[in-house]
Amino acid sequence: MEMQQIRYFLAVCDKGSFTRAAQSAYVAQPSLTQAIKKLEEELGGELFSRERSGCRLTALGRLIEPTLREIFREAQSIKAEAIRFNRLNTVPLRIGVMTTIAAQHLSPFFADFQQSRPHVELEVIVDSEVNLLKLLDDNQLDVVISAPLSLPSGHYQSLKLYEERYVVVFNDKHRFNQLAEVDLATIQAEPYLDRLNCELRETLRGVCLGRQINLYAAYRSNSEEWILSMVQAGIGVALIPEFTVPKQADRLMFRYLSDPDIRRTVYAIYPASTDNPEVLKVLESLRLGF
């Protein structure tokens, strides 16, 4: 099956006759008719029933029309992307970033990288670790930046980027502002804001059970922005990675969590078989940048 045959088939569908289809496709009618005949031979049946007023799709034609339209649209989209790529002379680089990793910590790196590699078109996708690794498997991402509890095995490689401690964040009028550090037991007396996307949520729950500490969740949210806004409003306190705390934020303070000292490690994860020079370059830049 050739793309030209699909194009002629769709032209007949849209115009309702071989004559008008040939005119719209700027091709001689015998050539179009021959292409349709070869397509019918390949698919094992007639696609159109010819009538005096034109033609209409057979049952087989109706069956395959949606699929052939989708194939044609995809081919046109690929062609448009290729044209755009060649005209702009850019190289796409697709990086997935786990939801809870702070943009403010990575943005300066991306800015420096793109300044040094102006021909690279950077695309950043923010999602859960599970979804990002699936996109990496499907070759829809080149690199994933995440903080896995255990490094993925198999055909992945990983590059350690940095560690960050967990901190207790609170309103600037909160009593914690008088403390040098805050331990886990002290938090249980406060309304606690639960981060549903926290990768260490189950680990923290296990620590609390072992120490008979009860963190009362006054609110829960899967949005870091909402958690921080509620902290600023004085609704409660939260545990978050230190680089997630905005560098300049009104009414927002933090102290490092002590006893226990909880940390996470952020990695760049990528296919072991990658040979894309731009992927290798961004990995080298990440290694040097952090």
Of 186, 178, 170, residue with least CA distance to 240: 170
Instruction: List b or e across 60-88, with b for residues whose CB sees 16 or more CB atoms inside 10 angstroms.
Output: ebeebeeebeeeeeeeeeeeeeeeeeeee
List, for residues 255-269, the tens digit of each pLDDT value: 998 888 888 999 999
Of 44, 2, 45, 36, residue with least CA distance to 18: 36
Hey, is 119 helix, strand or coil? coil
pTM strictly above 0.85 = no
Segment 281-286 mean pLDDT:
87
Query: What is the fold, at CATH topology level, of the domain defined by 91-162+265-289?
Result: D-Maltodextrin-Binding Protein; domain 2 (3.40.190)
* Residue 211 · residue 184 · CB < 8 Å: yes
Residue 169: the pLDDT is 94
CATH 1.10.10.10 for domain 3-87? yes
Q: The tokens of 158 are what?
A: 């990983």
C-alpha span between 272 and 112 (Å, rounded) = 25
Residue 34: the pLDDT is 93
Of 55, 57, 33, residue with least CA distance to 45: 57
Q: Is the peptide bond before 152 cis (omega within 30 degrees of 0)?
A: no
Q: Has residue 108 got a pLDDT over 80? A: yes
Query: What is the fold, at CATH topology level, of the domain defined by 165-264?
Result: D-Maltodextrin-Binding Protein; domain 2 (3.40.190)
- Summary mean pLDDT of the chain: 87
Of 143, 144, 257, 263, residue with least CA distance to 203: 263
Segment 18-25 mean pLDDT:
88
Whether the domain at 91-162+265-289 and the domain at 165-264 fall into the same CATH topology: yes
Q: What is the DSSP letter of 242?
A: G
- Domain limits of the chain? 3-87, 91-162+265-289, 165-264
* Residue 247 · residue 104 · CB < 8 Å: yes
Residue 258: the pLDDT is 87
Residue 47: the pLDDT is 93
Q: What is the DSSP letter of 237?
A: B
Question: Confidence band (pLDDT; 50, 70, 90) for 162?
Answer: very high
Radius of gyration (C-alpha) of the chain in whole angstroms: 29
Q: Has residue 90 got a pLDDT over 90? A: no
Question: Confidence band (pLDDT; 50, 70, 90) for 113?
Answer: confident
Segment 197-213 mean pLDDT:
83
C-alpha span between 136 and 269 (Å, rounded) = 9
Q: The tokens of 97 are what?
A: 């970033």
